[in-house]
């Protein structure tokens, strides 16, 4: 194998989409249970923020693996208006311990109301949305335990 193929290029991808139907616990649990197993196998880490009819998801992993997953997401009938906000090469994972962390976006959430009162991820700068996801992730009381560690 040549030297270029040996080196793994890690990327972080952030996208936003709108839910096609209601964001029920059953739908979310289905998404998370499939993602957790598959992500562990493929070396993908990240966080899913969902609520108020939106999905914000950060995916980290090897570039070709993340590209294939994102392409599948754009074809997933549970999503509409899928839009890529950030794709960046990284040297270190931000969500290394999470096969898929889960943050619920509630309209009563003080983070949403106070810090981001008119938040629209479709018009916000990608890095602004990435920062908000990081802030939401940092508040542990909003995170469902979906650890990557076995």
Per residue in 32-90, pLDDT (tens digit) is: 888 888 999 999 999 998 887 888 999 999 999 999 999 999 999 888 999 999 999 99
Q: Is residue 150 part of a domain?
A: no
- pLDDT reported for residue 144: 61
Strand partners, 31: none
Which range has the top average pLDDT, 65-74, 111-120, 141-150?
Answer: 65-74
**Residue 121, pLDDT score:** 87
pLDDT number for residue 150: 35
Residue 125 has a pLDDT of 92
pTM: 0.83
In-domain check, residue 149: no
What is the residue range of 139's domain?
3-144
Residue 47 has a pLDDT of 93
CA distances from 52 to 48, 90, 100, 142, 150 (A): 13, 30, 19, 15, 31
Q: In this structure, how many other beta carbons lie within 10 angstroms of the beta carbon of residue 33?
A: 12
Q: Using alpha carbons, select from 55, 57, 88, 53 the residue that is nearest to residue 70.
A: 57
Quote the CA–CA distance of 67 and 36 in Å, as a whole number: 18
Task: Give the CATH number, domain containing residue 76.
Answer: 3.30.70.100
State the average pLDDT over residues 132-146.
Answer: 72
Residue 124 lies in a domain: yes
Q: Regarding predicted confidence, which is higher, 118 or 105?
A: 105
d(CA 69, CA 30): 16
Identify the pLDDT of residue 6: 55
Q: What domain count does the chain have?
A: 1
CA geometry: angle 31, 67, 90, nearest 5 deg: 100
Cα–Cα separations (whole angstroms), residue 43 to 10, 80, 100, 124, 131: 10, 26, 11, 29, 23
Q: Is residue 69 part of a domain?
A: yes
């Amino acid at each position: 194998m040549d030297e270029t193929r040996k080196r793994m290029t890690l990327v972080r991808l952030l996208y936003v989409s709108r839910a096609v139907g209601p964001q029920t616990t059953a739908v979310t649990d289905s998404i998370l249970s499939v993602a957790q197993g598959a992500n562990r196998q493929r070396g993908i880490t990240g966080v899913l923020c969902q609520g108020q009819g939106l999905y914000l998801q950060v995916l980290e992993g090897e570039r070709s693996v993340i590209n294939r997953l994102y392409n599948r997401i754009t074809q997933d009938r549970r999503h509409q208006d899928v839009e890529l906000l950030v794709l960046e090469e990284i040297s270190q994972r931000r969500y290394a311990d999470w096969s898929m962390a889960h943050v619920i976006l509630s309209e009563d959430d003080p983070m949403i109301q106070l810090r981001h009162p008119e938040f629209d991820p479709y018009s916000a700068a990608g890095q602004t949305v990435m920062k908000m996801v990081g802030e939401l992730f940092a508040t542990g009381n909003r995170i469902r335990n979906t650890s990557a560690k076995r």
